[in-house]
């Protein structure tokens, strides 16, 4: 039996064996997902740390690129069929401060004001699609801007989903000094849900 400490040849062989396992093994492990395990083994074995860096930045093989493209196409197809609900169906804007709140919220967590639930908004707006009713409501609620708001509302090519909330937001913006047509163009027709 030879003692490793006393025999320099066996010490050198042990060192080479460990380096082949470590240096070449790490290079192969880095290059393997790219389809370049053999190249990675030899670069890691002969160049060490520099070889590992070269293997890390080397392009994947052509076959590996095709496999990744197929995987990506499958993921894209799966994600298109399993779309999560849109943010607008989960959240809506507070009619007072415009911060996003849950659709079922009755109090805004940002401004602490009461917010009508969406079920009530739907029934309120369904009953308020008549222009005369909207005009009366606007004259009572926002008398100063009611005429301009109704004129802008009447000129819209498509009516808003929630006419009262949309008109209320328009009047608030008019009260802040905004130009009427510019303000109207910036308010989504799905307001307050958008």
pLDDT value at position 94? 80
- What does pTM read for this prediction? 0.36
Averaged pLDDT, 64-69:
78
- SS3 annotation, the chain: CCCCCCCHHHHHHHHHHHHHHHHHHHHHHHHHHHCCHHHHHHHHHHHCHHHHHHHHHCCCCHHHHHHHHHHHHHHHHHHHHCCCCCHHHHEEECCCCCCEEECCCCECCCCCCECCCHHHHHHHHHHCCCHHHHHHHHHHHCCCCHHHHHHHHHCCCCCCCCHHHHHHHHHHHHHCCCCHHHHHHHCCCCCCCC
**Structure confidence by residue, pLDDT tens digits, 115-138:** 776 654 444 444 445 777 888 888
Say what percent of the chain tops pLDDT 90: 5
**Structure confidence by residue, pLDDT tens digits, 15-60:** 888 988 998 999 999 998 888 889 989 998 899 889 889 988 988 8
Cα(95)–Cα(111) distance, integer angstroms: 10
């Amino acid at each position: 039996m030879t003692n490793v400490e006393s025999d320099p040849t066996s010490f050198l062989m042990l060192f080479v064996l460990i380096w082949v396992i470590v240096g070449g093994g790490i290079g192969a492990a880095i290059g393997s997902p790219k389809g370049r395990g053999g190249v990675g083994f030899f670069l890691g074995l002969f160049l060490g740390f520099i070889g590992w860096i070269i293997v890390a930045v080397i392009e994947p093989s052509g076959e590996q690129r095709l496999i990744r493209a197929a995987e990506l196409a499958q993921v894209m197809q799966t994600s298109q069929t399993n779309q999560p609900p849109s943010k607008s169906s989960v959240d809506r804007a507070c009619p007072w401060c415009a911060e996003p709140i849950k659709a079922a919220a009755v109090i805004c967590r940002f401004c602490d004001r009461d917010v009508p639930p969406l079920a009530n908004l739907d029934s309120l707006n369904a009953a308020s699609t008549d222009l005369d009713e909207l005009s009366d409501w606007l004259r009572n609620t926002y008398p100063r801007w009611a005429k301009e708001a109704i004129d802008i509302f009447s000129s819209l090519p498509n009516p808003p989903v929630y006419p009262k909330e949309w008109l209320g937001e328009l009047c608030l913006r008019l009260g802040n000094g905004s130009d009427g047509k510019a303000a109207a163009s910036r308010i989504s027709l799905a307001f307050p849900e958008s």
